[in-house]
Chain A
């Protein structure tokens, strides 16, 4: 056999630990996603339109009703964290479309042929979705400032809000990824995506408190991750707002849900190319 001028693959490449590998690979996938968003940020700005409508139009009108028991805070302040959570949900729940697109282009095939850990494809996407959520958070803070809503400016609270939004966004993006792995076509996905957003939104405490809901809706709201995101944000973001479930419970539930969803998504991701 003639000696090759291009050297063979050094065996040492395979030797790095699995955890370090997962970290590098996840970071690589997330970095690619971030680069693409930052190069074409129009999507981020069009996403700002809906929350403005909700807060400026819907919120302003409904604060005059004064029929919704919101404790010590104005209705507008009450719904601000809800609208932040909602805009995060609406953006992340359609994340799966991008995966189906990448599948149709053969990008998913190429990723799956690499020896990278399957979980890194899911975690990388979740992180990048979390980053998009952070941009939405900035936008909501700006709107809230403009509307004169009392914001808690303590750094720890702000960090908490960003972390909560990132976690929530990762949950919905991963959920969306699971749906995409199951339906595998853009048309069907759009239908299901539309079908899911409104029930998730209305069966949560985003724009009215849990206490106002009939019993059956309260039960549904309790298994809705959006409820925990809104609850955490309400406790962290606005003056006078309080978390009903307590912050550790909110973050704990979200973390558990995310871990479960990410595990399922990692298992399903390879079925995309079958």
Chain B
């Protein structure tokens, strides 16, 4: 049996093209409205018009050596009704290792996301390496390094290839790439393993590779989100040593978040304890201990200023992330 053959009607190509263009524009308009809805639903109320983009460093210039590498002014971020970071005022001197402590949900990660330009503040602002995070995010990005909480080096690439990707993304000229990558690998003790796939690395090696990646473009300020979570003690100490060496050699400012009081004690020149999005205490580790009691440890300080909630908190998401990190480390 045959279906009757329908003759396609003769249409002029011009009309056809026009029709197609119009319909694709309709489709695009639909998508744009969808996208806009998404942006509007998620974006914070923008308190800062981007009209005046200043490329010059703000009043703080790092060259004087006196200034603050990170300075937040009433920095606030809300997620719906919940205030994750509440009018934060931090002053972090350049050339220091600064620790941000606090229980889960205290606002550490949100603060780091804002300072690294991943998240816009709901209100308030901050300057990082002398640039405003709201008005000159591109300049901020050029001058910071970032090591995320999860082991995020690409396992399907070699150590060298991971670094090469960073070099290109940061606009490093071709002639300098290989030399600087070799130097970074050597600094982190990874020269031997640079040609191996990262999925064969240990957790500590991946962390050191990520430090190499983050230092490649010589940032003025380095952010590390729980740099040694899930690492064994030997690997942990290796990461600390490399980080301290790196800080010494480059004189950069380091901001780390941590839950680990040993890490805070070992690394940090200064600490701030966050609690419910606010600074509960700030100072040098010894000074903080002294305010709590004569024989106080940092654990005591932490418990004192975060309302004894070291065991509490911790959402499902934190647990899931920690587990994923652990399983990746095998």
Contacts and interface: CB of A to CB of B under 8 A. Distances in A.
A75 to B, nearest CB: 12
Interface stretch (A113-121, A135-143, A158-166): A113-121
A68 B17 CA distance: 25
Nearest to B29: A260
Interface string B1-37: 1110111110001001101110111111001101100
Interface in A194-241: 209-212, 219, 222-223, 225, 228
Contacts of B24: 223, 225, 253, 256-257, 260
A116 B169 contact: yes
B21 A28 contact: no
B53 interface: no
B31 A261 contact: yes
Contacts of B125: none
Interface string B177-204: 0000000000000000000000000000
Interface stretch (A52-60, A77-85, A145-153, A264-272): A264-272
A222 B168 contact: no
B185 to A, nearest CB: 14
Interface in A133-190: 178, 181-182
Interface of A is mostly: helix
Given A36-B156, A66-B2, A245-B16, A115 B138 contact: yes
A241 to B, nearest CB: 14
Given A21-B171, A105-B150, A182 B8 contact: no
Interface residues of A, number: 70
A259 to B, nearest CB: 9
B188 to A, nearest CB: 12
A68 B113 contact: no
A45 B301 CA distance: 58
A242 to B, nearest CB: 10
Q: Which of B25, B149, B165, B173 counts the most chain A CB atoms within 10 A?
A: B165
Given A24-B168, A222-B23, A253-B20, A105 B141 contact: no
B173 A271 contact: no
Given A9-B217, A36-B157, A257 B28 contact: yes
Contacts of A7: 218
Contact of A273 (B25, B113, B173, B250): B113
A152 B7 CA distance: 25
A110 B21 contact: no
Nearest to A7: B218
A139 B95 CA distance: 58
Given A6-B218, A105-B150, A106-B152, A115 B169 contact: yes
Contact of B16 (A249, A268, A274): A249
A245 B18 CA distance: 10
Interface in B135-159: 138, 141-144, 146, 148-152, 154, 156-157
Contacts of B152: 105-107, 109-110
Contact of B250 (A4, A116, A212): A4
B20 A245 contact: yes
Interface residues on B, range: 35 or more
Interface in A83-114: 104-107, 109-114
Given A13-B171, A222-B19, A245 B13 contact: yes
A253 B157 contact: no
Contacts of A107: 152, 154
Given A25-B168, A113-B141, A264-B32, A246 B148 contact: no
A104 to B, nearest CB: 7
Contacts of A271: 38-39, 42
A184 to B, nearest CB: 10
A13 B219 CA distance: 13
Contact of A6 (B3, B144, B250): B250
Contacts of A112: 117-118
B280 to A, nearest CB: 26
B251 interface: yes
Contact of B146 (A9, A110, A274): A110
Contact of A35 (B5, B161, B171): B161
A246 B42 contact: no
Shortest beta-carbon contacts, A-B, top 10: A106-B152, A106-B148, A28-B168, A106-B150, A9-B218, A223-B23, A1-B65, A116-B169, A249-B17, A260-B28
8 contacts: A5-B250, A110-B148, A211-B7, A244-B16, A245-B13, A245-B20, A260-B24, A264-B32
Given A1-B95, A105-B152, 13 more contacts: A4-B251, A6-B215, A6-B249, A9-B220, A24-B171, A106-B148, A109-B118, A113-B141, A178-B35, A181-B38, A245-B13, A264-B32, A267-B35
